[in-house]
Amino acid sequence: MCGRFTLFPEDYAELARLTGTEADVALAEHYRQRYNTAPMQRSWIVRADRESRVLDYGRWGLVNFWAKDNKRAARQINARAETVHERPAYRTAFKSRRCLVPTSGFYEWSGPKGKRQPHWIHPVEDELWFFAGLYERWDGVDGEGETTFTIITTEANEAIMPIHDRMPVILDADAVDDWLFAPPEEADRLRQLLVPARADTLAIQDANPNVGNVRNDGPELLST
């Protein structure tokens, strides 16, 4: 699964550059470096607008556009790659509302209950990853629209398996635009992109146990 992640380009302009999008001054005020993004908090996604990539600022925990409330959002922070194309909560978004979730890495925990050790898993190179995601535009109970999203997970690769049996889908650089821009009739073909990343593309280090508290959100969380 994926339950916490990081995103810390220096500023909004750098985020726009790294994601291949145009900086939108209306969104810039929302940007800050994040070292402990948790479910139901807001973060950034990249979605398609015709033939362009655009940044959007949404809440992590997908709420279907037809939902009367957001009670299921916390259960829909992750979607399984094996069933995302057929589950009612995701199948329509899988065809036409795919997105990228930019990230500087994610956390996973190992060890016995009561003595869990967090690990920060991040790119070997100093770069951003793009998780495969889906998004929805939910009108909300008061009619005030909000973008929501989920992160797709797959089986763990050999590096992650000793820690957890699932991991987020990290899209290969060559697959990013295909994931964003493929037309709905080609959606089933995209399932072949939802595979574990190569183990040699990621690094794993022990993180600060304080990452378990969502109120903690600083660079000191990245290491013990």
Cα(12)–Cα(25) distance, rounded to whole angstroms? Answer: 9
User: Which secondary-structure segment (H or E) carries 222?
Assistant: none
**What are the angstrom distances between the C-alpha of 161 and each of 50, 89, 104, 157?**
38, 27, 20, 6
- Alpha carbon distances (Å) from 192 to 6, 95, 198: 26, 14, 15
10 is a catalytic site residue: no
Look up residue 25 and give its two tokens: 């001054």
CA–CA gap between residue 32 and residue 8 (Å, rounded): 8
Which one of 2, 10, 82, 158 is the catalytic residue? 2
Sheet holding 105-110, edge to edge: 34-37, 5-7, 105-110, 117-123, 202-206
Q: Is 99 a catalytic residue?
A: no
d(CA 20, CA 223): 30
Candidates 51, 86, 108, 127; catalytic one: 108
- 10 Å CB burial of residue 150 (0-12, 13-18, 19+) is buried
- Asked if 211 contacts 4 with a C-beta cutoff of 8 angstroms, the reply is yes
Query: Nearest 5 degrees, angle CA 56-CA 11-CA 74?
Result: 40
Kindly list the catalytic residues: 2, 108
